């Protein structure tokens, strides 16, 4: 079996990109989390030579791939039917250029606005270099959408690796209330509403600690994405289901949603569901309601 090493769901933007590459394109792998509140990441990855950071993908034959863009290309080679890059040559070339520029650029934005999926701010007073990065991002998004993305919400037609690479940028633009025009704002909103993105954020809300080094001294606002359907953890009670909707194991932990009680096999399964029930198609099937959107 393969293994994907990821950092903290709430804070690791590169981990979000890699997670989306696997989950959005239906590629199975085991996941190991590297805890940002413990030792340095390089120290925790010492046994996975030569990797020093996350994400890192370890293939079944022991090959170690320690760079997110390399992971995207390797997955495209190993799983050509997954559709990680667009099929049309011009769209594929544009998507690769977009992902490569994101991979190597926008350092002012990335440094000034660290990704934090737990908090959002009304205004961060971005300096000129951050606004310049945002303007460049808008320009290349507009270019891609004008040529290839008019039929849907994504950059180059259907969802591709380019969109996975810009998902944390969308989270930064939304989370720091950075100024963008209507078209860019619509693309950001598409990411915030994407069920896979919502699942990743839901896990980030309930796993790991609040890390003070990611907090910023700005006025807070509610998360700008879709408001989650209300749900809450409850004490042991009769549940409508005997098996966890995710693992199939017997239920031990419970939540209430819309006046009904459902069971899960552990607190994390319960809590990630309570954080955003509509993000989880297997739970929404139990509830008898449609999930947030296509998986």
Handedness of CA 83, 87, 91, 96 (dihedral sign): positive
Query: Domain spans of the chain?
Result: 3-81, 89-199, 228-295
What's the fold here for domain 3-81? Glutaredoxin (3.40.30)
- For the record, the structure tokens of 227 come out as 């408001």
Quick one: pLDDT at residue 295? 46
Quick one: pLDDT at residue 292? 78
Say which CATH class 89-199 falls into. Answer: mainly alpha
160-201 tens-digit pLDDT = 999 999 999 999 999 999 999 999 999 999 999 999 999 999
Q: Cβ-count burial of 184 within 10 angstroms (0-12 exposed, 13-18 middle, 19+ buried)?
A: buried
63-106 tens-digit pLDDT = 999 999 999 999 999 999 999 999 999 999 999 999 999 999 99
Quick one: pLDDT at residue 38? 83
Phi-psi region of 267 (alpha: psi -120 to 50; beta: other; left: phi over 0): alpha
Quick one: pLDDT at residue 139? 98
Ranges of the chain with pLDDT below 70: 293-295
Residue 260's DSSP bridge partners are 257
Instruction: Indicate the DSSP class of residue 247.
Output: T
Helix, strand or coil for residue 177? coil
Quick one: pLDDT at residue 293? 63
Quick one: pLDDT at residue 39? 84
- For the record, the structure tokens of 110 come out as 């990335």
Q: What are phi and psi of 90, to 5 degrees?
A: -65, -45
Give the separation between CA 295 and CA 293, rounded to whole angstroms. 6
Quick one: pLDDT at residue 168? 98
Give the separation between CA 29 and CA 220, rounded to whole angstroms. 36
Q: Name residues whose C-beta falls within 8 Å of residue 255's C-beta, 6 or more positions apart in sequence.
A: 231, 232, 233, 234, 261, 262, 264, 270, 273, 274
């Amino acid at each position: 079996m393969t293994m994907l090493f990821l950092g903290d769901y709430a804070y690791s933007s590169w981990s979000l990109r890699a997670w989306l590459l696997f989950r959005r394109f239906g590629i199975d792998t085991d996941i190991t989390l590297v805890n940002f509140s413990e030792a340095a990441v390089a120290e925790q990855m010492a046994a996975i030579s030569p990797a020093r950071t996350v994400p890192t993908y370890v293939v079944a034959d022991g090959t170690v791939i320690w760079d997110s863009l390399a992971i995207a290309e390797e997955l495209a080679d190993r799983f050509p039917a997954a559709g990680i890059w667009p099929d049309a040559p011009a769209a594929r070339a544009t998507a690769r250029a977009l992902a490569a520029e994101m991979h190597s650029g926008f350092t002012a934005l990335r440094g000034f606005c660290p990704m934090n999926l737990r908090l959002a701010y009304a205004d961060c007073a971005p300096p000129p270099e951050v606004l310049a990065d945002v303007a460049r991002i808008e320009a290349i998004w507009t270019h891609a959408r004008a040529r290839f993305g008019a039929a849907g919400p994504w950059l180059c037609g259907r969802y591709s690796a380019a969109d996975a690479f810009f998902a944390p940028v969308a989270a930064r633009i939304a989370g720091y209330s950075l100024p963008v025009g209507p078209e860019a704002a619509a693309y950001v909103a598409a990411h915030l509403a994407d069920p896979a993105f919502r699942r990743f954020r839901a896990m980030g809300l309930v796993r790991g600690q609040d890390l003070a080094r990611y907090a910023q001294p700005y006025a807070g606002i509610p998360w700008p994405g879709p408001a989650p359907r209300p749900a809450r953890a409850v004490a042991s009670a009769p549940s409508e289901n005997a098996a966890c909707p995710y693992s199939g194991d017997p239920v031990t932990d419970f939540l209430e949603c819309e006046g009904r009680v459902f069971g899960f096999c552990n607190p994390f399964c319960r809590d990630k569901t309570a954080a955003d029930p509509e993000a989880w198609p297997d739970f929404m099937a139990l509830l008898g309601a449609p999930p947030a959107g296509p998986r």
